[in-house]
Amino acid sequence: MSTENEGTAVPADHPAAPSTPTTPPTPPAPPTAPPASAPTPAAADAPTAAQPPTAAQPPAPEAAPAPDAAHAAHTPAHAHAPESAASTPAPAAAGAGWPPPPPTVPAWGAPLPPAAPEAPRRRTGGLVAAVLVAALVAGGIGGGIGYWAAQRGDDGVSSTTVSSGEAPASFKREPGTVAAVAATALPSVVTIQAKSGGSQGEGEGGTGTGFVYDQEGHIVTNNHVVASAADGGTLSVTFPDGKSYDAEVVGRAEGYDVAVLKLTNAPKGLKPLPLGDSDKVAVGDSTIAIGAPFGLSNTVTTGIISAKNRPVASGDGSGGSNSYMSALQTDASINPGNSGGPLLDASGAVIGINSAIQSTGSGFGQSQAGSIGLGFAIPVNQAKNVAQQLIRTGKPVYPVIGATVNMQEQGEGATIASQGSGGTPSVTPDGPAAKAGLKAGDVITGFGGHQIDSGPSLISEIWTHKPGDQVKITYERDGKTSTATVTLGERTGDS
């Protein structure tokens, strides 16, 4: 209980002390001796109306203020006369003794005296308290709003983000998109496992790709994919749905690098891939390659037609087992395992069979380190002719000009060699070239409107035709350029 009002008489006409009394002046230091006479303090609990407030003695000379409020509360002082007796009652003089008498305890049941006013310097604390209260109120409001928002969120108000699970279940890709083409073509693309047999060693082989050619169960692929299993080996074909079937070789064309298989128990409902027209392909057309690069089945990559009529020898260009093609060049990623797979156009039609790549530090071939954006495919027009021949007879038929050309020189054309293999004439007597007037030493620089810069490029162009086709050729002899028309002959089987 506060003791700051101790010893102060309260007038009868004022039942309670004012709520905010006038701030009293700083009390002077206590006198060294008590005054000669001091009024008897009035009882705090029994004031009378007839007893006027006691006049205070004149203040002592001004002294240094008390060090703090607590000391001032216990220091007797002579009060100043009030400026207006009507407005503020004058406090009674303090008792003459020191220390002051103990505080008067109110009777039981009586109301407690009002709390003393704060000292002036405590106003800052009041302001701080007000700020704290305001902060607490604001925090409470903010917390309430946050709780309300959380409750509203729990009641079903969703975020503005959209999860993938909210995509329509019936979403369909537009025809012509890569996803739509791939979805249609993938069920007709197979992964081929070849295991060798006989003298090549049981169990050896590789992985390649093929595609459904017809409803009878024929599969078209590259020759080099199945060559290891051709003599006593085994072949299995796996569809994207995981079902596998045994297969056997119908025919192989080593020079074209084309082979045809047939499923031994072909399922019903096979869907052949549509065949396009590779002659109408333009540079810049979109391409889609499907295969099993490094054994990763059903891989889809995309690119464009980078060039046409690229002369490609799949081997080292010197052996009799090499394959030659006037290839479609694409930058779609093609790697080992893609061989034999389809190269599709934007409509999903087959325009080529992926067969070879070129990587840094090596030539053309099927077994390279990896794709650097230089992939090559056999044009489907050529592959279709070969496949039909293999299905019909089991053997390939090659168009020929009846002349042996140099396979090593490059850049000046295809030079007819001085003699053929085994000492035979380089120009077959009474053959197509001989009938056209060609001789040993002539350099063929053009064939059917395409420029020829080497022996492989000449063979690649010849094999885009059929036996019996008449083709215009350009050649040089003794520094003179001449032209002639050659009617292509034929050769059956690989030799």
Cα 275 from chain centroid (whole Å): 34
Catalytic residue check, 339? yes
What number is the average pLDDT over the span 244-254?
95
Which of 196, 228, 257, 314 is labelled catalytic? 257
* 240 Cβ contact partners less than 8 Å away, ≥ 6 residues apart: 186, 187, 189, 297, 298
Phi, psi at residue 138, to the nearest 5°?
-60, -40
**Is the pLDDT at 145 greater than 60, yes or no?**
no
How far is Cα 222 from Cα 340, in angstroms, rounded to an integer?
5
How far is Cα 257 from Cα 222, in angstroms, rounded to an integer?
5
Q: Which helix (H) or strand (E) segment is 386 a member of? A: helix 380-393
Confidence of residue 360 (pLDDT cuts 50, 70, 90): low
How far is Cα 196 from Cα 250, in angstroms, rounded to an integer?
16
Amino acid at 23: T
Tens of pLDDT, residues 293-319: 988 999 999 999 999 999 888 754 444
Catalytic residue check, 84? no
Which of 188, 339, 454, 457 is labelled catalytic? 339
What's the pTM value of the predicted model, to 2 decimals? 0.64
Token digits of residue 24: 């009293």
Measured at the alpha carbon of residue 195, what is the angle toward residues 210 and 262, in degrees to the nearest 5? 40
* 292 Cβ contact partners less than 8 Å away, ≥ 6 residues apart: 191, 207, 208, 209, 298, 299, 337, 338, 341
Q: Which helix (H) or strand (E) segment is 313 a member of? A: strand 299-313
Under DSSP, the state recorded for 32 is S
Pick from 15-24, 29-38, 55-64, 189-198 the range whose average pLDDT is largest.
Answer: 189-198
How far is Cα 216 from Cα 227, in angstroms, rounded to an integer?
22
**pLDDT given for residue 67 in this prediction:** 44
How far is Cα 143 from Cα 437, in angstroms, rounded to an integer?
101
* 289 Cβ contact partners less than 8 Å away, ≥ 6 residues apart: 300, 301, 302, 303, 330, 332, 333, 334, 338, 341, 342, 343, 344, 354, 375
Token digits of residue 465: 């035709």
* 161 Cβ contact partners less than 8 Å away, ≥ 6 residues apart: none
Under DSSP, the state recorded for 120 is G
**pLDDT given for residue 104 in this prediction:** 57
- Give the dihedral of Cα atoms 453, 459, 460, 462; nearest 10 deg: 110
Q: Which helix (H) or strand (E) segment is 391 a member of? A: helix 380-393
**Is the pLDDT at 146 greater than 60, yes or no?**
no
**pLDDT given for residue 341 in this prediction:** 96
Under DSSP, the state recorded for 275 is B
What number is the average pLDDT over the span 85-105?
49
* 347 Cβ contact partners less than 8 Å away, ≥ 6 residues apart: 176, 181, 276
**Is the pLDDT at 50 greater than 50, yes or no?**
no
* Peptide linkage before 99 cis (omega within 30 of 0): yes
**Is the pLDDT at 19 greater than 70, yes or no?**
no
Q: How buried is 470 (Cβ within 10 angstroms: 0-12 exposed, 13-18 middle, 19+ buried)? A: exposed
Which residues, listed in sequence order, are joined to residue 128 by a DSSP beta bridge? none
Catalytic residue check, 14? no
Q: Is the CB of residue 474 less than 8 Å from the CB of residue 446?
A: yes
User: To which residue do tokens 């030799």 refer?
Assistant: 495
Cα 168 from chain centroid (whole Å): 21
How far is Cα 465 from Cα 385, in angstroms, rounded to an integer?
9
| Short-list 294, 193, 189, CA closest to 234 | 193
- Residue percentage of the chain with pLDDT more than 70: 60
Confidence of residue 134 (pLDDT cuts 50, 70, 90): low
Mean pLDDT of the chain: 76
Reduced to 3 states (helix: H, G, I; strand: E, B; else coil), residue 358 is: strand
What number is the average pLDDT over the span 442-450?
94
Q: Euclidean distance between the first and final Cα of the chain, in Å?
A: 124
Count the Cβ atoms, other than its own, within 10 Å of residue 431: 17
Which of 188, 196, 218, 224 is labelled catalytic? 224
